[in-house]
Structures are given as C-alpha cells and as structure tokens.
Amino acid sequence: MLLVVTYSQAARQTLRNVCNGHEETVVQRLGRAALLEATELGAFLALRLRAKHGGDVQVERTAPFNEFADVPRAVREAAAAYEDRERPSTPYAKFAVDTDHPDAEAMRDAEL
C-alpha cells in the first residue's frame, strides 16, 4: 500500500477530493493521511498530490506487519500477558519485574 500524509490545509483538502473521487483506490482514510492501493493509479494519485503540494505531501510504501515473522516470541508473549494483567493501571516496567518478559528499555533500542 501507499501511505500519503499531508502537512498543510490545502494538501488535506486535495487529499479529501482525491479520496472522494477515487474510492476504489482508497484502502483507508485517516484524516490528514490515507492508505492507497499499491497500483499504478494509487501511485499516480499520490504523485499528483506531491506535484501539486511539494513538501506538504509525504508518500511512503508500506509493507504488511506480520507479528509472527517480524517480532520475537518473547515480545509477543509479553504483550499478551501485559494486556491480560490483573490490574490495568500497572505500568509495563513494574509488570515486567521478576518475570521472563523483556525489559522496556531493552525493547526500546532493539530493532525488529
């Protein structure tokens, strides 16, 4: 998919118009951003926005997030355990103490 992010009011208005006129190419609208199909038409629409608004439009190609291929098992298990904790107000750093779950600081610096 193509992620189109706008940084000005004029670019946002043009993005809205593009989305309204080409609903079949829009995967999701996100306010000042939109996900477009990774097709030639999607690329044309994204590049048209950037040609019109220059630096006020950012276009990125996205890849699907596969948690089982991209994320270590320990992180997946920690996320599930944290969401299933007894007290919802417990911060993760406190929750992870004296467990096998990864430390928040260690995860912060570890790239996927």
Report pTM.
0.74
Summarize pLDDT for 16-55 with one digit per residue, the tens. Answer: 999 999 999 999 999 999 999 999 999 999 999 999 999 9
How many percent of the chain have pLDDT more than 90? 96
Predicted pLDDT of residue 29: 97
The answer to whether residues 28 and 4 touch, using CB atoms and an 8 Å cutoff, is no
How many percent of the chain have pLDDT more than 70? 100
Q: What CA–CA distance (Å, rounded) separates 72 from 42?
A: 33
Q: What is the mean pLDDT of the chain?
A: 95
Q: What is the DSSP letter of 97?
A: T
Q: What CA–CA distance (Å, rounded) separates 25 from 47?
A: 14
